[in-house]
A and B are shown apart, each in its own frame.
Chain A
Amino acid sequence: MNPTTTGTQLGQPNTTAIVFFLLFVGITLAITYWAARKTKTTSEFFAAGGGVSAVQNGFALAGDFMSAASFLGIAGLVAMSGFDGLIYSVGWLVGWPVVTFLIAEPLRNLGKYTFADVVAYRLKQTPVRLSAALGTLAVVSFYLIAQMVGAGNLIHLLFGLSYEMAVIIVGAVMILYVLFGGMIATTWVQIVKAVLLLAGATALAVAVLYKFGFNPVNLFNEAATQYGAETLAPGKLVASPLEAISLGLALMFGTAGLPHILMRFYTVPDAKAARSSVFYATGLIGYFYLVTFILGFGASVLVGRTAITGVDKGGNMAAPMLAEVVGGTGFLGFISAVAFATILAVVAGLTLSGAAALSHDLWSTVVRKGKAPEHEQLKVARLASLLLGVLAVVLGVIFKGQNVAFMVGLAFAIAASGNFPALLLSMSWKKFTTNGAVASMLVGTFSAVVLIFLSPTVQVDLLKNTEAFFPLKNPGVITIPLSFVVGVVVSLLFPEREASERFDEVRHRMHVGAPTEGLPAPEVPASTAVATPPAVVHPSKA
C-alpha cells in the first residue's frame, strides 16, 4: 500500500484551516456590512436591485450549484468506484443547458422574485402562489436538511468540531449574510466561494497531474493497474435502465425547478444577461466536474481506497486527504476551509429563496393581496430569513446521524415534477389554467414525496424493510410526465377564458420584456440596444 496513508492530520484542529476559514468569514462579513448599507428595498433584498452582471451571475449560479456534496461526494465516488462517479457528474451538468434554452429568459422577463411570479402571471394569484410556495418550501427544506447534516458531519471530520457546534456556526454566519446583506451579500458570497472552490480544485488537480506527466490517461491507467480494469468501466451504480432514466430525468429537469437557482435570474438587468449568465455557469460547472473526476482518480491512486474508507466510509474525505498527500497540512487546511465556505454559501442561497416564497408569495400576495407597503415587505422578508435560518439549524440537529443523502434526490424530484412542468406550461401554453397549474404542482410534489417514501431508499435502506412498495429509487420517470398530463387534462376540462385571453400579454412581455420597478427599462431606445456590447460589460457593483 501507499506509505503516505498513515498519520493524516484530518480531524485535528488545523491552524491553516482555521486561519483560512476565519479569513473567509471575515471577508464575507465585511461584504455583508457593505451590502447591508445598499439593501434598502425588497428589490435589493431579493434581487440585488437587478444590478448583477452576467459574468458575476454566472459565477454565483455556479457557486449556488457546486455544493460540498458535489465537490467532496463526487470526488469520493470517483475515488471509490472510478467511472461511476462520471455518470453523476454528467447528470448534474445536463440540467443547465435546459435552463438556458427553456427557462432563463422568459423567467427574467416575466417575474420579480420567485418562479411563482411567472406561473401566477395570468392566473388567479392565491391558489397558484399557495401551491408554488408549497413546492418551493418542500425543495428548500429537503435540500437544507441534506446540506446542514452534511455540514455537521464534514466539519466534524475536517476540523474536529462537535456536530452541533458546526451546525450552529454554519447557521449563525449564514443568517448574518442573508438577514443583513440579502441578495447582494449572498451573490458576493457565492462568487467568492466559487472562485475559491475552482481555484482550490484546479491547484489540487495540477498537483496530481504533475506526478503523471500532465496526462490524465497515465493517471487512469495507474488506477486500472492498482484496482483492475473495471474501475474504468460502469459498475453497480446503474443497475437497471429504467432506474437510470428516472434519475436522469429528475436531474435534468430538476435543475430547472430549483427555487434558489431560478431566483438568481432576477438579479441580472435583462434577458440577454440572464441568457449569458447560464452560459458562463454551464462552462464553470462542467469544468469543475472534469477537475473533480481527476481528483477522484488522484485520490484512489495517491491516497489509496483503504485509507480513504478508514477515515469515512462514504469516501467523502478523498479530496481533503489528497490535498494533504500532495501539499501537506497547509493545503489540507486550505481545502477544508474551502469546503466549509462552500456549505455556507449554498445554505445562504437556499434560505433566501425560501424567504422569498414565504414573504413575497405567501405574505405580500396571498395574505396582504399586494397591499403591503414596502417597509413592511422588507421587514417580513428579513423575519422569514431569520425564521428559516433558525429552522435550518434545528432540522440539522434533529436529523443528526440520519442518512439524508436521499433528500437531495428528493429535492430534485420535487423540483422536476412539482415546479418545472407548471413553469414551462405557464410560459408556453395558451390554454393553461389556474386549476391546471394547481393540480400539476400539487400532484407533482405529492407524488414525488409519496413515491420516494415507498421506494427502496426509504423502505429498505432506512426503515430496514425487506421489500419496497415502489421499485424505483427515483420517481422522476413517473412523476414528471404525470405532472404534465394532470396540468394539461385539468386545464382542458376546466377552461379559463381570462387566462387564455391574457396569453398575448404574457408572450409579449416574455420576449420583449417590461420595465420592472427600480430597474432601467429593458426596452431601451433602439440605437442604444444595438450599441450595447454583450451583457458581460455591465459595470460591477463592487
Chain B
Amino acid sequence: MQTNSREEALEALAASRWRVAAALTVAMLVAYLGFILLVAFNKPLMGQQIIPGLSIGIVLGVLVILAAWLLTGIYIVWANGKYDRALHQYRGRK
C-alpha cells in the first residue's frame, strides 16, 4: 500500500517536471522559429524602423534573447520552489 503511493508520488513528480519542461521548450521553440520565419517571409516588416535606427527586426531579436532568459528564469523559480518542495516531501516519505 505504502510502496504503491510512493511509486505514484514519484510518477506524479516526474510527470510534472516533464510537463513543465516540455511546455517551456515549446514556448522557446515557438518564439525562436517565429522570429526566424518572420525573417524569412517578411523582410520588409522586419526592416521597418519604429524610430530612426531601431528596426522591428532588432527589437524582436533582442526580445527573443530576453525570452530565453525569462523562460529559464521561470523554470528555475518553479524548480527551486514547487518542484523541490515536492521532491523533499517525497524523500521524507520513506
Contacts and interface: CB of A to CB of B under 8 A. Distances in A.
A248 B65 contact: no
Nearest to A230: B47
Contacts, number: 162
A222 B54 CA distance: 11
A398 to B, nearest CB: 35
Contacts of A290: 62, 65
A282 interface: yes
Interface residues of A, number: 56
B64 to A, nearest CB: 5
Contacts of A97: 24-25, 28, 68, 71-72, 75
Contact of B88 (A220, A222, A289, A530): A530
B51 interface: yes
A86 B68 contact: no
Interface string A140-175: 000000000000000000000000000000000000
B88 A96 contact: no
Given A279-B73, A428-B18, A530-B88, A87 B61 contact: yes
Interface residues of B, number: 55
Contacts of A240: 40
B14 A507 contact: yes
A150 to B, nearest CB: 24
Interface string B32-73: 110111011101101101011111011001101110110111
A256 to B, nearest CB: 10
Given A97-B72, A272-B84, A289-B65, A511 B13 contact: yes
Interface in A519-534: 523, 526, 529-530, 534
B76 A275 contact: yes
**Most A Cβ at <10 Å: residue of B18, B33, B36, B76:** B36
Given A241-B40, A534-B80, A232 B10 contact: no
B90 to A, nearest CB: 7
Prevailing SS type, chain A contact patch: helix
B69 A233 contact: no
Given A90-B64, A93-B65, A512 B91 contact: yes
Contact of B54 (A101, A220, A283, A523): A220
A91 B91 CA distance: 39
A511 B10 contact: yes
A526 B91 contact: yes
Contacts of B46: 83, 233-234
Given A244-B36, A283-B69, A512-B91, A83 B55 contact: yes
Contacts of A8: none
Contacts of A372: none
Contacts of B36: 87, 91, 238, 241, 244-245, 248
Contacts of A91: 32, 36
Nearest to A504: B7
Nearest to B13: A511
A153 to B, nearest CB: 28
Interface of A: 83, 86-87, 89-91, 93-94, 96-98, 100-102, 105, 217-222, 224, 229-230, 232-234, 238, 240-241, 244-245, 248, 252, 272, 275-276, 278-279, 282-283, 286, 289-290, 428, 504, 507-508, 510-512, 523, 526, 529-530, 534
7 contacts: A83-B55, A102-B21, A220-B55, A244-B39, A252-B29, A272-B80, A512-B87
Interface of B: 7, 10-11, 13-14, 17-18, 20-22, 24-25, 28-29, 31-33, 35-37, 39-41, 43-44, 46-47, 49, 51-55, 57-58, 61-62, 64-66, 68-69, 71-73, 75-76, 79-80, 84, 87-88, 90-92
Which 10 pairs from chain A and chain B are nearest by CB? Answer: A233-B47, A221-B53, A241-B40, A232-B55, A101-B21, A220-B53, A86-B61, A217-B53, A94-B32, A234-B39
